[in-house]
Amino acid sequence: MNDFCKNVLESIDLIIGNGRLPIILGGSNSYIKKLIEEPTIAFLSKYYYFFIWVDVSLPTLFQYVGKKVDEMVESGMVDEIREYYAPGQTTRRELEGLLRFLSLILFFR
């Protein structure tokens, strides 16, 4: 998530520097929330902004989430998480795996 914020800020500055209007869209609300609420970033005091949130019905959302999870599993997400729990892995690596797993759980909520 920190990489996302860093990349967004660098991109915004580059886009503004080129006389263009940056638009941030897509992705998880948790990334946008981190970007706008993290005090060390000070996004809200640095930039003029306008937010548009798209709201969808729960059945539509669940259909999309189900499809997304199927794609994640098919692309190897389970195997990727499993490798973090292999014997002999470092604690940090296990923690990174746990964070990926938790992000998947939060995705369902």
* pLDDT grade for 45, boundaries at 50, 70 and 90: confident
Q: What is the pLDDT of residues 16-29, one digit of tens each?
A: 999 999 988 766 77
Cβ pair 106, 30 in contact under 8 A: yes
CA distances from 19 to 22, 69, 105 (A): 10, 39, 40
Cβ pair 87, 77 in contact under 8 A: no
Higher pLDDT, 8 or 95: 8
Q: Residue 96 and residue 67: Cα distance in Å, rounded? A: 24
* Identity of the residue numbered 42: A
pLDDT of 74 strictly over 80: yes
